[in-house]
């Protein structure tokens, strides 16, 4: 138990010494204890690396196209699906009783366990389930036929089966992969067009309709029912409403036209048990012959799935599609939180470092900071809901939006209250980091500035803050990392599973602070726990997890990077 | 040169802004605490009286029945001569009158349903008469308000037989009494002395049940089913009357009242000598007298008896002023005819000294009003056992009285026999909450004994919500306990190793990695725990249990093998290679556990651990053997070093390291064997003594359990404790370390006897901080704990913490409702728990810093 010979300086940690004569009293070296200590550290390291690996592996592998297996069961039925995972399980007595002696013997040899594979059979609309376990002893034959397709649909999730035929411009044609691909991308364009008309144009019309109706109510509340002023406003608004409704009908007609056209493009599908399904081509998001596809095509599908994930809205109760609104919500809420937390945190740190006399008051401030850091996040959520949303927001509603009551505007959870709540939660992080940064500014610089005749505020503003800026940034980034990962308080103050509208859009005043929003963390909770089938949502959860984790680890390492650079810089400045 | 004004001003402004901003932190903490408190405090604040009326009705009849609408506007009184008087409650003004034709019969008994709108009157000729009382509610638009309406008082107007009340929207709420007289039925030849009346079934097909007692103490139960003739549309009521077995009353004993339970499956008869008779009517063709129970001393009459809302709780009032509450519970080995027994669950406050004259129940909650012959009117909430209001009635206090609690539980109305009316209006938003309800054991309806129960949303409308915070606090502590059980040792040992034994280069990579763990969103941890880990642990429970033994064993084995290596090798591979070797030994142990897991389960737990935990198969010996193994090892090694230690040392003496290492390994193996034998012996002994851990900290297995939660929550607390503890250990001044090493101590001895004691307070503070984090953790628990508010230490059962409960329920709680406020109280409890833990930790840390600085 000795290592290289290097003399230790006082105050520095000794790293080794030479033991000239070794006695055999092993208890002095405490080797088993050392292994226990090292083992604890190793467990920590293994756990965290394993955890990161698990998420990365599952997250990255999710979108890779998998082959489709056709499994003939001994019972005579045939199923087709993507093998999702495999495992050993203990065979129950009721199942054992039904098996043949040879199968039983095999299981008994394996201590009562058997292998099984989970197939994603998809076709939820036909089967009522997305998955099926197949035990090893059940399967007669497994093969990978080239004519099996995987079709991702707008609704009902994926479809696994064959393509029997297609209808183009109302004309029935035999299945042609190239042509279908071309027509499918055309159909998707039509689908996007309908979507745009429905969401954007009709959305705008509805928005303005709502505004006009509110105008009438507001006028009545302000001038009294039946007053001349109110009647004048109501008349103007009603004219506008009529005009908007005409617009609405016009748009509706255009949508119907495209729909009619769209119905002429169809595809006939057949699942493995020969049941057929006739569906519109525009409902097919993506399709490919899973067992007859080259590596580069697979790569293309993989990338296109990532693009879809990052840039589109969710579908199928959030278990399919993208997470764009959630990304928007997370980033927007976190940025807004920084706007609130930065001044609060920096001012408190300045007070503690530059202004306050160290005494009982600062010690109370420090205990407060510490308690803010230690209070469970859910308590902030409770406070945010009760105080910000109900009391402050309710007050704002009564003063500024009486025409919308009893529907709350600010008087319920929203992105403003969420970011304020999280600002309160993360302020200790900023205070601690800023304090550290301020204390790292050398005394000589302060004294130099003051000696030149600068006032205290001038010194702080022109000398200390610029110097401490990277440290403050570190604090802010760490606060963002903390804030972006919090879910519990958000569940109470404004996060929803599916937000009807983003908090940012093209209508005045562009930023709608009162709106509820979606969040990546809550998305994970919602899809993993509230969806119809948590197994079907699992891949989505893993990818979202990977995204959220990537976001946070990126912020975290950015902060660590800045901190290290800062340390180096001052190491050279300070002597 | 003078300083520019702008500089002076900016100086002043900045100073004030920063000082105020700095103190804002204190304000924030105080605001949170005060706000939570402010929301929670009305829970136990009690109610307040908001109005009262007192007047005499212009009528000479005695009161038989009383009805009031939910707006406290119209009261309907049925008199003993058949007069039905509709009066305006706030003023006493008569709205209209009508008469029920009694046709010479004398009224002898009256009763009604819980909603008080259906009434049954019993007469001296043995017949009964049905009645229906109703107040029709409409909204009249402001424009249609009849101009001829006359003003009753500041709020209400009367027009014809309707009362108009102006509401906020400018419209008028219009109430009109609609009373119907129903059929007459001949039940007995003797006068009816007591009746009760229940209506069940659906609105289209009501089932009617009523009980009657005649002067001969013959109890009858009649059931009518209304059937509509499909062709003619006429309604035919068929009544079947069953005579119940005789009670064999002593001569002179009289029946005072009869009650029929909600589904008409029990009838309860009270007498004037303090005995209650309970009939079981579940089989209508064979009614039995299930039980007779003396509930008041001999000679004391039961003067009033009623069911609380839900009709499963009986309130009994006696002439000796007793007010007691009873349930009928299924009791094993009971001597009664149906296996149920009446059990007294509460005896309400006896400071009211008069004989009980009347009892009446509330429709929406478990409160009731009791009137005594001294004029006291007391509104009591039964479950929370608190007197909500006490009033004094006017007029002669000994006169019989009829009382009701308004349908919204916001007032009491009394009409005495002389027509004297007393009314009180009150507001009590949380009658069911007291400190005892929140933190003490409460005997709820249908439970065998007082218990701590959290069940904020009741299964049915009539069952009451149960708000004990104790199961939630217990769940919080249980989750934190298991998290610390896993997390604290790992974090502390790892911190010691990182600060004292590891090479600087290794440390530079390991520490940031552990810190990354801190920033992992807990929602991710929760998701992994619930959807990945929980099913895995369930499937591989044998391997997991084996792992708890195999990993330490593997490490020890590695250490003893390492000791046998020659000195040069040890020196050369110290550092990173050794750490990798340690990691490898862990991985290997885990692999071995997975491979041997099923075998382990077969050998110790009859092949199926989950079946074993239910207690059906086997004994508690195997598990106790595992638990006792480490303890036995410690005991055995202490014994060894005490009695054979010097011999062993002398024998090993000055031998070569490799030889000494081998000897040491032999010693270890020997001790291990001895420990295993001792452990087995002790475990068998415990089993022989009848101890079985199953049913205690081991019980039936649930997939989402404390083991999984503890394990994953450990993941959340490890980085916290690790970072703080490592900081504390590293900040021990280097000269202490150097001095110790210079005196010839090994690094192990230095760490153990110099560094750790010096940093102990800092390390303790780190543990406290970790504890604080574990107490408040939300998402992991929400997702992985199953959220059942049970109170058992079982490692394999779920739990519900304060934080998870808030996250789950607050979103649906109605603002300012009882659940909303109780959840705020839960948040306050959580805040206070963590406030104490954190403040203590911070104070200890500040002291440690000062001390470390002084060294």
| Of A100-104, B367-371, B753-757, B813-817, minimum mean pLDDT range | A100-104
A329-573: CATH topology is MetI-like fold (1.10.3720)
What ipTM is given for this predicted complex? 0.87
For residue A356, the chain B residues in CB contact (below 8 A) are 19, 22
Distance CA B691, CA B624 (A): 10
Chain B residue with minimal CA distance to A390?
Answer: B815
Backbone torsion region of residue B322, taken as left when φ is above 0, otherwise alpha when ψ lies between -120 and 50, otherwise beta:
beta
B683: closest CA of chain A, how far (Å): 27
Residue B423 has pLDDT above 60, yes or no: yes
For residue A427, the chain B residues in CB contact (below 8 A) are 25, 28
Distance CA A319, CA A321 (A): 7
Write down the pLDDT at residue B483: 93
For residue B598, the chain A residues in CB contact (below 8 A) are 111-113
Residue ranges of chain A whose pLDDT lies below 50? 1-14, 17-22, 574-575
Query: B15-49 burial string, b = 16+ CB within 10 Å, else e?
Result: eeebeebbbbbbebbeebbebbeebbeebbebbee
CB contacts < 8 A (A, B): 359
| Of A17-31, A475-489, B254-268, B839-853, minimum mean pLDDT range | A17-31
Tell me the domain boundaries of chain A. Answer: 69-163, 171-263, 329-573
- Mind listing the pLDDT tens digit for each residue in B48-67? 888 899 998 888 888 889 99
The partner residue sitting opposite A44, judged by closest CB among B519, B520, B718, is B718
Q: Is A20 exposed, middle or buried (0-12, 13-18, 19+ CB in 10 A)?
A: exposed
Q: Which of A424, A456, A450, A277 is nearest to A353 (CA)?
A: A456
Write down the pLDDT at residue B461: 61
Tokens for B108, please give them: 């002898």
- Residue B831 touches partner A, C-beta closer than 8 Å: yes
Write down the pLDDT at residue A12: 47
Give, in degrees to the nearest 5, the angle at Cα A534 between A529 and A538. Answer: 105
A176: closest CA of chain B, how far (Å): 41
Chain B residue with minimal CA distance to A225?
Answer: B170
- Mind listing the pLDDT tens digit for each residue in B460-481? 666 788 899 999 999 999 999 9
The partner residue sitting opposite B523, judged by closest CB among A43, A89, A525, is A525
- Residue B427 touches partner A, C-beta closer than 8 Å: no
For residue B838, the chain A residues in CB contact (below 8 A) are 370-371, 373-375
B839: closest CA of chain A, how far (Å): 7
* Contact across the interface for B494 and A31, Cβ inside 8 Å: no
* Contact across the interface for A36 and B493, Cβ inside 8 Å: yes
- Residue B722 touches partner A, C-beta closer than 8 Å: yes
B814: closest CA of chain A, how far (Å): 11
Provide φ and ψ at B219, rounded to 5°.
Answer: -95, 135
- Residue B552 touches partner A, C-beta closer than 8 Å: yes
Distance CA A152, CA B622 (A): 52
Query: pLDDT-derived band of residue B122, with 50, 70 and 90 as boundaries?
Result: very high
* Contact across the interface for B516 and A455, Cβ inside 8 Å: no
The partner residue sitting opposite B772, judged by closest CB among A343, A374, A380, is A374
* Average model confidence (pLDDT) across chain B: 87
Task: Give A67's DSSP letter.
Answer: P
For residue A438, the chain B residues in CB contact (below 8 A) are none
**Contact between B131 and B119 (Cβ < 8 Å):** yes
Q: Which residues contact B136 (CB under 8 A, 6 or more apart)?
A: B175, B176, B177, B178
* Contact across the interface for B776 and A379, Cβ inside 8 Å: yes
Write down the pLDDT at residue A21: 46
**Contact between B226 and B206 (Cβ < 8 Å):** yes
Distance CA B844, CA A367 (A): 12
For residue B35, the chain A residues in CB contact (below 8 A) are 383, 386-387
A148: closest CA of chain B, how far (Å): 30
Distance CA B684, CA B718 (A): 36
For residue A370, the chain B residues in CB contact (below 8 A) are 838-839, 842
Task: Give B705's DSSP letter.
Answer: -
Between strands B313-318 and B323-330, the pairing is antiparallel
- Residue B680 touches partner A, C-beta closer than 8 Å: no
| Of A87-91, B105-109, B824-828, minimum mean pLDDT range | A87-91
Distance CA B94, CA A337 (A): 64
For residue A385, the chain B residues in CB contact (below 8 A) are 810
For residue B18, the chain A residues in CB contact (below 8 A) are 347, 350-351, 354-355
Tokens for A346, please give them: 């920096």
**Contact between B668 and B560 (Cβ < 8 Å):** yes
Q: What share of chain B is helix, strand, coil (3-state, %, to 5)?
A: 40, 25, 30
Q: Which of B696, B16, B659 is nearest to A24 (CA)?
A: B659
Give, in degrees to the nearest 5, the angle at Cα A534 between A531 and A538. Answer: 115
Tokens for B404, please give them: 């009701």
The partner residue sitting opposite B10, judged by closest CB among A28, A347, A457, is A457
* Contact across the interface for B563 and A26, Cβ inside 8 Å: yes
- Residue B489 touches partner A, C-beta closer than 8 Å: yes
* Contact across the interface for B513 and A548, Cβ inside 8 Å: no
Which one has a higher pLDDT value, B116 or A225? Answer: B116
Q: What share of chain A is helix, strand, coil (3-state, %, to 5)?
A: 60, 15, 25
B536: closest CA of chain A, how far (Å): 10
Distance CA B496, CA B722 (A): 9
> Is the sign of the CA dihedral A509, A512, A513, A514 positive or negative?
positive
Give, in degrees to the nearest 5, the angle at Cα B366 between B362 and B368. Answer: 50
Tell me the domain boundaries of chain B. Answer: 477-619+692-854
B820: closest CA of chain A, how far (Å): 10
Give, in degrees to the nearest 5, the angle at Cα B486 between B481 and B491. Answer: 115
* Contact across the interface for A368 and B26, Cβ inside 8 Å: yes
* Contact across the interface for B514 and A26, Cβ inside 8 Å: no
For residue A487, the chain B residues in CB contact (below 8 A) are 521-523, 779
Collapsing DSSP to helix, strand or coil, A85 comes out as strand
The partner residue sitting opposite B523, judged by closest CB among A28, A347, A521, is A521
Query: pLDDT-derived band of residue B792, with 50, 70 and 90 as boundaries?
Result: confident
Distance CA A362, CA A169 (A): 78
B 493-522 → A contacts, CB under 8 A: 493-494, 496-498, 501-504, 510, 512-514, 516-517, 519-522
- Residue B630 touches partner A, C-beta closer than 8 Å: no
* Contact across the interface for B35 and A36, Cβ inside 8 Å: no
For residue B824, the chain A residues in CB contact (below 8 A) are 382, 386
Tokens for B230, please give them: 């499909």
* Cis status, amide bond into A509, omega within 30 of 0: yes
* Contact across the interface for A32 and B23, Cβ inside 8 Å: no
CATH class as words, domain B477-619+692-854? mainly alpha
Tokens for B47, please give them: 């109610």
């Amino acid at each position: 138990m000795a290592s290289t010979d290097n003399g230790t300086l006082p105050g520095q940690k000794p790293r080794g010494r030479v033991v000239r004569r070794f006695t055999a009293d092993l208890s002095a070296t405490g080797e088993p204890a050392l292994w226990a200590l090292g083992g604890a550290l190793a467990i920590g390291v293994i756990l965290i690396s394993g955890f990161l690996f698990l998420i990365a592996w599952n997250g990255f592998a999710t979108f890779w196209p998998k082959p489709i297996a056709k499994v003939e069961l001994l019972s005579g039925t045939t199923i087709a699906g993507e093998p999702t995972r495999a495992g050993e399980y203990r065979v129950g007595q009721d199942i054992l009783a039904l098996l043949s002696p040879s199968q039983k013997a095999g299981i008994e040899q394996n201590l009562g366990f058997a292998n099984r594979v989970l197939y994603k059979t998809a076709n939820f609309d036909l089967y009522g389930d997305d998955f099926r376990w197949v035990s090893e002893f059940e399967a007669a034959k497994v093969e990978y036929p080239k004519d099996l397709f995987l079709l991702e649909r707008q609704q009902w999730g994926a479809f696994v089966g064959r393509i029997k035929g297609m209808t183009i411009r109302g004309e029935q044609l035999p299945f042609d992969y190239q042509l279908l691909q071309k027509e499918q991308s055309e159909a998707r364009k039509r689908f996007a067009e309908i979507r745009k008309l429905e969401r954007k144009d009709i959305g705008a019309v509805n928005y303005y309709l709502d505004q006009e109706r509110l105008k009438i109510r507001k006028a009545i509340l302000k001038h009294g029912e039946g007053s001349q002023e109110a009647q004048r406003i109501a008349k103007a608004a009603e004219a506008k409403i009529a005009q908007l409704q005409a617009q609405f009908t016009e748009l509706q007609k255009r949508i119907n036209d495209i729909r009619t056209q769209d119905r002429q493009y169809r595809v006939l599908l057949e699942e493995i048990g020969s049941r057929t399904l006739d569906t519109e081509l525009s409902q097919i998001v993506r399709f490919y012959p899973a067992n007859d596809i080259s590596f580069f095509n697979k790569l293309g599908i993989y990338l296109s799935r990532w693009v879809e994930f990052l840039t589109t809205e969710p579908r199928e109760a959030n278990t399919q599609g993208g997470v764009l609104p959630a990304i928007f919500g997370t980033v927007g809420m976190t940025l807004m939180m920084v706007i609130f937390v930065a001044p609060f945190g920096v001012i408190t740190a300045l007070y503690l470092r530059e202004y306050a006399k160290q005494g009982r008051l600062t010690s109370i401030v420090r205990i407060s900071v510490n308690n803010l850091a230690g209070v469970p996040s859910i308590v902030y959520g409770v406070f945010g809901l009760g105080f910000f949303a109900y009391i402050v927001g309710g007050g704002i509603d009564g003063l500024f939006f009486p025409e919308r009551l009893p529907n709350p505007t600010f008087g319920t959870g929203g992105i403003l209250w969420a970011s304020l709540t999280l600002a309160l939660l993360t302020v200790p992080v900023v205070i601690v980091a800023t304090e550290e940064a301020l204390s790292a500014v050398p005394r000589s610089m302060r004294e130099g500035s003051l000696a030149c005749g600068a006032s205290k505020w001038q010194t702080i503003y022109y000398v200390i803050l610029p110097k401490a800026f990277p440290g403050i940034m570190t604090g802010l980034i760490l606060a963002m990392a903390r804030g972006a990962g919090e879910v519990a308080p958000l569940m109470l103050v404004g996060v929803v599973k599916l937000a009807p509208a983003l908090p940012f859009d093209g209508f005045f005043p562009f930023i709608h602070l009162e709106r509820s929003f979606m969040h990546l963390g809550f998305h994970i909770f919602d899809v993993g726990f509230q969806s119809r089938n948590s197994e079907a949502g699992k891949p989505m959860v893993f990818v979202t997890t990977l995204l959220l984790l990537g976001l946070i680890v990126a912020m975290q390492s950015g902060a660590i990077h800045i901190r290290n650079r800062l340390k180096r810089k001052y190491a050279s400045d300070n002597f | 040169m003078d300083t520019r004004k702008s500089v002076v001003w900016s100086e002043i402004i900045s100073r004030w802004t920063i000082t105020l901003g700095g103190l804002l932190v204190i304000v924030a903490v105080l605001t949170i605490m005060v706000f939570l408190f402010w929301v929670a405090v009305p829970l136990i604040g009690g109610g307040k009286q908001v109005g009262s009326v007192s007047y005499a009705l212009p009528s000479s009849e005695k009161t038989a029945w009383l009805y009031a609408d939910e707006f406290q506007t119209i009261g309907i009184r049925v008199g003993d001569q058949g007069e039905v008087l509709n009066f305006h409650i706030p003023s006493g003004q008569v709205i209209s009158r009508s008469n029920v034709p009694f046709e010479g019969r004398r009224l002898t008994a009256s009763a009604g349903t819980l909603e008080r709108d259906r009434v049954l009157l019993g007469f001296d000729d043995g017949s009964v008469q049905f009645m229906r009382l109703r107040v029709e509610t409409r909204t009249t638009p402001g424009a249609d308000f009849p101009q001829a309406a006359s003003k009753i008082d500041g709020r209400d107007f009367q027009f014809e037989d309707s009362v108009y009340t102006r509401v906020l929207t400018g419209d008028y709420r219009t109430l009109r009494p609609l009373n119907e007289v129903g059929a007459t039925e001949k039940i007995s030849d003797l006068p009816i002395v007591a009746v009760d009346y229940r209506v069940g079934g659906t609105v289209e097909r009501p089932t009617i049940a009523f009980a009657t007692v005649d002067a001969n103490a013959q109890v009858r139960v009649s059931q009518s089913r209304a059937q509509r003739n499909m062709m003619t549309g006429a309604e035919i009521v068929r009544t079947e009357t069953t005579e119940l077995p005789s009670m064999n009353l002593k001569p002179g004993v009289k029946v005072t009242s009869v009650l029929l339970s909600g589904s008409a499956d029990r009838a309860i008869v009270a007498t004037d000598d303090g005995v209650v008779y309970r009939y079981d009517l579940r089989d209508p063709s064979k009614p039995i007298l299930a039980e007779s129970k003396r509930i008041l001393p001999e000679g004391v009459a039961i003067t009033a008896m009623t069911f609380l809302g839900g009709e499963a709780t009986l309130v009994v009032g006696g002439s000796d002023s007793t007010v007691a509450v009873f349930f009928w519970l299924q009791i094993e080995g009971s001597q009664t005819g149906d296996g149920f027994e009446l059990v007294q669950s509460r005896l309400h406050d006896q400071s009211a000294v008069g004989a009980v004259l009347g009892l009446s129940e509330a429709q929406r909650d478990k409160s009731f009003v009791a009137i005594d012959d001294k004029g006291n009117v007391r509104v009591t909430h039964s479950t929370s056992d608190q007197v909500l209001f006490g009033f004094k009635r006017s007029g002669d206090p000994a006169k019989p009285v009829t009382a009701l609690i308004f349908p919204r539980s916001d007032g009491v109305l009394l009409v005495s026999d002389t027509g004297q009316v007393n009314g009180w209006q009150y507001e009590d938003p949380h009658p069911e909450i007291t400190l005892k309800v929140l933190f003490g054991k409460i005997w709820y309806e249908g439970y065998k004994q007082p218990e701590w129960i959290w069940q904020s949303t009741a299964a049915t409308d009539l069952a009451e919500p149960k708000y004990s915070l104790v199961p939630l606090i217990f769940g919080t502590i249980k989750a934190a306990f298991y998290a610390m059980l896993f997390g604290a040792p790992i974090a502390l040992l790892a911190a010691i190793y990182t600060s004292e034994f590891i090479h600087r280069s290794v440390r530079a990579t390991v520490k940031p990695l552990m810190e990354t763990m801190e920033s992992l969103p807990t929602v991710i941890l929760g998701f992994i725990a619930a959807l990945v880990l929980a099913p895995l642990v369930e499937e591989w429970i044998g391997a997991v249990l084996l792992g708890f033994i195999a990993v330490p064993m593997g490490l020890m084995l590695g250490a003893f093998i390492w000791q046998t290596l020659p000195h040069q090798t040890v020196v050369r591979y110290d550092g990173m290679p050794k750490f990798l070797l340690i990691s490898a030994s862990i991985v290997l142990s885990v692999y071995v556990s997975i491979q041997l897991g099923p075998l382990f389960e077969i050998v110790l737990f009859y092949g199926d651990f989950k079946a074993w935990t239910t207690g059906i198969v086997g004994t508690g010996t195997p598990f106790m053997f595992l638990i006792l193994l480490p303890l036995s090892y410690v005991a055995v090694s202490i014994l060894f070093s005490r009695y054979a230690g010097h011999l062993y040392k002398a024998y090993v003496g000055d031998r070569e390291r490799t030889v000494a290492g081998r000897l040491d390994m032999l010693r270890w193996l020997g001790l291990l064997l001895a420990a295993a034998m001792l452990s087995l012996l002790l475990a068998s002994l415990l089993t022989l003594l009848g101890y079985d851990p199953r049913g205690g900290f081991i019980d039936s297995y649930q997939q989402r359990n404390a083991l999984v939660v503890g394990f994953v929550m450990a993941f959340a607390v490890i980085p916290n404790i690790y970072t703080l503890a490592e900081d504390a250990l590293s900040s021990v001044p280097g000269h202490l370390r150097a001095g110790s090493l210079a005196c010839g101590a090994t690094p192990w001895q230095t760490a153990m006897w110099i560094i750790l004691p010096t940093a102990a307070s800092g390390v303790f503070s780190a543990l406290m901080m970790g504890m604080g984090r574990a107490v408040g953790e939300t998402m992991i628990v929400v997702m992985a704990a199953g959220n059942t508010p049970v109170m058992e230490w079982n490692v394999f059962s779920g739990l519900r913490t304060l934080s998870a409960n808030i996250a789950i329920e607050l979103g649906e709680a109605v603002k300012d409702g009882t659940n909303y406020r109780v959840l705020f109280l839960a948040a306050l409890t959580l805040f206070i728990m963590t406030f104490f833990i954190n403040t203590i930790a911070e104070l200890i840390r500040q002291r440690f810093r000062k001390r470390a600085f002084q060294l």
